[in-house]
Structure 1
Amino acid sequence: MRLICAVLPLLALAGCSSFPADPEHVSQVPGERLLAYQQAVADSGELVVERDLGMLGGGCYVAVLVDRKVAARIGIGERARFQVPAGTRVLGIGIDEQDDTLCGKGRLRRELAVPVSPGQRQHFRIVSEAKSGFDIRPVAP
């Protein structure tokens, strides 16, 4: 019984961490939730953001920010692509302010400075972990 009481909380915490979705199970963010950076511009690069699968925050959208502007509202197991001008872009995640549930009442801001070259494509993951919450991380090529 003591073993069960010791292991159960660890399993519960591990169950809250996210994991990458298989490529065949990733869906595109619907057009009504893609809010900016969808048109190709001269000397642009592409940023691809995928949100992991997992229970933590599973019922909530996360705002994807490009240069601190909301570019998409992304759900679990979804992918969004953004056409951004070359140069250093600020890619981040934040609270979806369009959400009027408890999900939209918290605080979340994670940002990365991303150097973008013309024609370059870079991939990022939105992860959620029980200990540290949400984060956005580059995916190694």
Structure 2
Amino acid sequence: MKSAIRATAIAAAIALTGCATEPTPRTSSTSAPSERVTAYQTAAPGIDTGTLIVTRDSGFIGGGCFYAVSINGKLAARLDTGESSRFIVPAGEVLLRAGRDPQGKGLCSIGKSEWTQRETTLKPGETKLFRLSLDMNGKADIQRADDE
């Protein structure tokens, strides 16, 4: 009996460990639809810009909810799992935030006030890749990604 309980506990721990989100290769991600990409899609005339590409991880955690990306205090996109979006941003200091979709309803509205924030410096003409990931509790993070 004890060995059956122990085996069940080990199986549950292994299953839960596998539920974390995993990076989505940029080449296999899909573009977020335009109705959920809300800012930084065109360059303002006469302003040096760079490009940010944000790709949301794939995985079970948070899979039923959109997660948001904010750039310099402006909601830029609401991403589903495996989606990415490209943003044309003024060069210089850039503030990125990731969190629950501010338009989320029901369970997707829990924790809407919790955001993770990162800063980066974007040079004119530079492209930087970022990854929106989720921990086991559904808390979002945004971090630099590999160029895949």
Over residues 57-113 of structure 1, what are the superposed CA-to-partner deviations in whole Å (9 max), with x where a residue is unaligned?
Answer: 001001100012100000100001110001101011122111222212324200111
Displacement of 1:8 in angstroms is 1.9
Structure 1 portions without partners, runs of 5+? none
Say which of 129, 133, 136 aligns to 1:123: 129
Residues 26 and 55, structure 2, Cα contact 8 Å, conserved in 1: no
CA contact (8 A) 2:132 2:143 kept: yes
Equivalenced residue count is 141
Q: Distance in 1 between matches of 2:24 and 2:53?
A: 14
Task: Read off the aligned partner of 2:143 and give its amino acid letter.
Answer: R
Query: Displacement of 1:31 after TM fit?
Result: 0.5
Q: What is the distance in 1 between the residues matched to 2:98 and 2:71?
A: 9
TM-score by length of 2: 0.87
Moved more, 20-29 or 61-70: 20-29
1:28 is matched with which residue? 31
In structure 1, the residue matched to 2:116 is: 110
How far off is 1:132 after superposition? Answer: 7.5
**Does residue 88 in structure 1 map to residue 96 in structure 2?**
no
What is the Cα-based RMSD across aligned positions, in Å? 1.7
Tell me how far 1:12 sits from its aligned partner: 2.6
Q: Tell me how far 1:2 sits from its aligned partner.
A: 3.8
Hey, what does 2:71 align to over in structure 1? 66
Residue number in structure 1 paired with 2:139: 133
Quick one: distance in 2 between partners of 1:134 and 1:87? 24
- Aligned residue for 1:38? 41
User: Match for 1:8 among 8, 11, 15?
Assistant: 11
Contact 1:95 1:109 in 2 (8 A): yes
Contact 1:16 1:129 in 2 (8 A): no
1:8-58: CA deviations, max 9, x gaps? 221232122011224443100000001000002331000100001011100
**How far, CA to CA, are the matches of 2:94 and 2:141 in structure 1?**
17
Structure 2 gap ranges (5+): none
